[in-house]
Copies of this chain bind each other. A is one copy, B any other.
Amino acid sequence: QINATRINATIEAACTWGNTPDGGMNRLAANEDDKRVRAWFIEETAKCGCTHKVDEMGNIFAIRPGENNTLPPIGIGSHLDTQPTGGKYDGILGVVSGMEVLRTIHENDITTYAPLAIVNWTNEEGARFPPAMLCSGVWGGAFTTEYAHSRSDASGITLRDELEAIGYLGHTPCSYEANPLSAHFEVHIEQGPILDAAESAAAVVQGVQSIRWYKVNVTGREAHTGTTPMDRRSDALLGAAEMIVATNDIVTKDSGLAARGGRATIAVINSLPQSINTIAGKLELGLDIRAPSDADVATIEQLCRRRFATISEKHGLTLNVDNFWVSPALSFDPRMVDCVRHSAQEIGCTMELVSGAGHDSVYTARKVPTAMIFVRCRDGVSHNPAEYSRPEE
C-alpha cells in the first residue's frame, strides 16, 4: 500500500523550485529551476537503489533492478516541467506517483520481476519549446533528435543549448531502440471538468484526442494610425482579430463540431512593430486545434484555412499557415487499459475518459504497451495556478 501522507508531501517537495506567489508553478523546461528539481529527483530515486540514465534529450530514467535485468524496465513516467502559469499537479503528480511506487516497493524489500524505471520526460508542456511532448516524442520515434535539439524558445535559445547549460545533455541515445522500456504507465490529473462534475476520484484513460498545432503569420502594411484613412489600410492586427473570432465561431457555431467536442484556440499573439501609432504590419499567432476524431480536426483546419484566406484577401494581407505538429487520435493498449480498469474498479472508480490533453504516454504508446490513470482535479482547472487535486484523491 502506498503512503498517502508521503506522496502528498513529495508533491510539495517537487514544487520547491519554480513556485509562484499565487500558489502555482512556473518551471519552464530546461531552466535553472528545472535543473534543481532534476537533481532532487535523481537524489531521491538513488535512495531507493536506482541508477540513472540521462539521454540526449535530457530525459531521466531512474532504474531499480529486478530479478531479470536483461528485460527492459517497466516505465512509470511523466514530467516535471510546467506551464508559465502552471499548477502543482500537471506532470508533477505523475513523476511523484512513480516515486511513491518505487519507495513502497523499496521499503517492502520487493524485487520486481523486471526492472522498474521512473521517467522524467523533458519539455512535455511545449510551453517553452513547442511542440509538446517533444522528448518522449523523440524516444517514441515521432521526431529526430536533431529536430528536437534545434527547437528554440521565444528568445531564440535552442533546447540543446539549454540542456547543455543545465548539465542534462546526456549521452544515452534518445530512442526506444537504444534505451527500451517494456511498458509505460502514467498518472495525470484529468485537467478537465468531467471527474469533478461526477465526483469520481479517478478514471481509466482509453486514449487521447487528436491535436494539431499551427504557426500563423499575417503580414500587412505598417502605416500611420493618425493619417491613414480607414479604407486604405492593410491592418494585420485587425485581420488577426477577425481570424481569432472566426476560429472560435467555427467550433462553437457549427452544431456538429461543437457536439463532437471540437476545440480551437489562439492563445499566443505577437504584433510588430509594437508602436501605438503604427498600424501592425506583422503578426504571429499560435493555433491549437483538437477533437476526439482526426477527421474533425482536419475539418476544423480546412474551415480555418478558408476563413483566414478570405479575411486576408479582404484586408490585403499575406498569410502563411504552418501546421508544425500533428498528434493523431490514439487508443491505448487494451491489455494495459484492462490492467488499470481492474485496479480502478477495486477502488470503486468506473469512469472511462478520452484525454483532451496530450501526454508523454501518447509517444511511448508508439513503441510499448501504455496506459494512463486520470485523477480528479477541482473544476477541471489546469494550466493555471489554481490547479488542485485533494490530498485524498
Contact of B125 with A383 in the complex, beta carbons under 8 Å: no
Q: Scoring A residues 191 to 211 as 1 if CB is less than 8 Å from chain B, else 0, what string do you get?
A: 111000000000000000101
Identify the closest chain B residue to A281 (Cβ): B85
Q: Which residues of B contact A272 (CB under 8 A)?
A: 84-85
CB of A275 within 8 A of CB of B211, answer no
A231 to B263 alpha-carbon distance, docked (Å): 10
B270 touches A276 (CB 8 A): no
Taken together as a complex, chains A and B put the C-alpha atoms of A5 and B356 apart, in Å, by 68
Given contacts A227-B192, A270-B270, contact A248 B238 (CB under 8 A): yes
For chain A, what secondary structure do more than half of its interface residues adopt (helix, strand, loop), or is it mixed?
loop
Interface bits A237-274 vs B (CB < 8 Å: 1, else 0): 11011101100100110000010000101111111111
Q: Is the CB of B230 within 8 A of A288?
A: no
Kindly state the separation between the CA atoms of A126 and B278 in the bound complex, as whole angstroms: 10
In the complex, what residue of chain B is closest to A208 when comparing beta carbons?
Answer: B226
Knowing A190-B227, A209-B226, A384-B223, the reply to whether A274 touches B268 (Cβ < 8 A) is: yes
A228 contacts which chain B residues (CB < 8 A)? 192, 263, 356, 380, 382
Find the B residue at minimum CB distance from A257: B230
- Asked if A266 and B237 make an inter-chain contact with CB atoms under 8 angstroms apart, the answer reads yes
User: In the docked arrangement, what's the CA distance between A271 and B244, Å?
Assistant: 13
Shortest CB-to-CB span from A102 to chain B, Å, is: 28
**Which residues of chain B have C-beta atoms less than 8 A from A242's C-beta?**
241, 245
Contact with B along A117-150 (1 / 0, CB 8 A): 0000000011100101000000000000000000
Cβ–Cβ < 8 Å partners of A277 in chain B = 83, 125-127, 132, 267, 288, 357, 383
Q: Are A226 and B276 in contact (CB under 8 A)?
A: no
Q: Is A154's beta carbon under 8 Å from chain B? A: yes
Residue in contact with A258 in the complex, picked from B126, B224, B230, B287, CB distance below 8 Å: B230
A377 to B, closest residue via Cβ: B227
A222 on the B face (CB < 8 A): yes
Q: For A268, give its contact among B191, B244, B271, B287 (CB under 8 Å).
A: B271
Give how many A residues have a beta carbon under 8 Å from the other chain's beta carbons: 72
A275 in contact with B224 (CB, 8 Å): no
Residues 141-179 of chain A: 1 if any B CB is under 8 Å from the residue's CB, otherwise 0? 000000000000010000000000000000000000000
Which of A193, A258, A267 has the most CB atoms of chain B within a 10 A radius of its CB? A267
Among A84, A230, A270, A281, chain B packs the most CB atoms within 10 A around the CB of: A230
Of A237, A271, A276, A280, most B-chain CB atoms within 10 Å? A276
Across the two chains, which residue of chain B brings its CB closest to A287? B276
A21 at the interface (CB under 8 A from B): no
Other-chain contact of A279, B226, B265, B269, B385 (Cβ < 8 Å): B265
Q: Taking the nearest CB of chain B, how far is it from the CB of A163, in angstroms?
A: 20
Residues from chain B with Cβ under 8 Å of A381 in the complex: 221, 223
A225 an interface residue at 8 Å Cβ cutoff? yes
Nearest chain B CB to A231 CB, angstrom units: 8
User: Apart from A191-B227, A192-B228, A222-B383, what 10 extra A-B contacts exist at CB < 8 Å?
Assistant: A83-B222, A84-B274, A126-B276, A127-B278, A192-B227, A211-B226, A223-B384, A229-B263, A275-B383, A277-B357
**A residues touching B (Cβ–Cβ < 8 Å)?**
83-85, 125-127, 130, 132, 154, 190-193, 209, 211, 213, 221-232, 235, 237-238, 240-242, 244-245, 248, 251-252, 258, 263, 265-281, 286-288, 290, 355-358, 380-385
Some 18 contacts from A to B, beta carbons below 8 A apart, are A83-B277, A83-B278, A84-B275, A85-B272, A85-B278, A126-B275, A223-B382, A226-B263, A226-B290, A226-B357, A227-B380, A238-B245, A238-B248, A241-B245, A269-B270, A269-B280, A277-B357, A279-B383
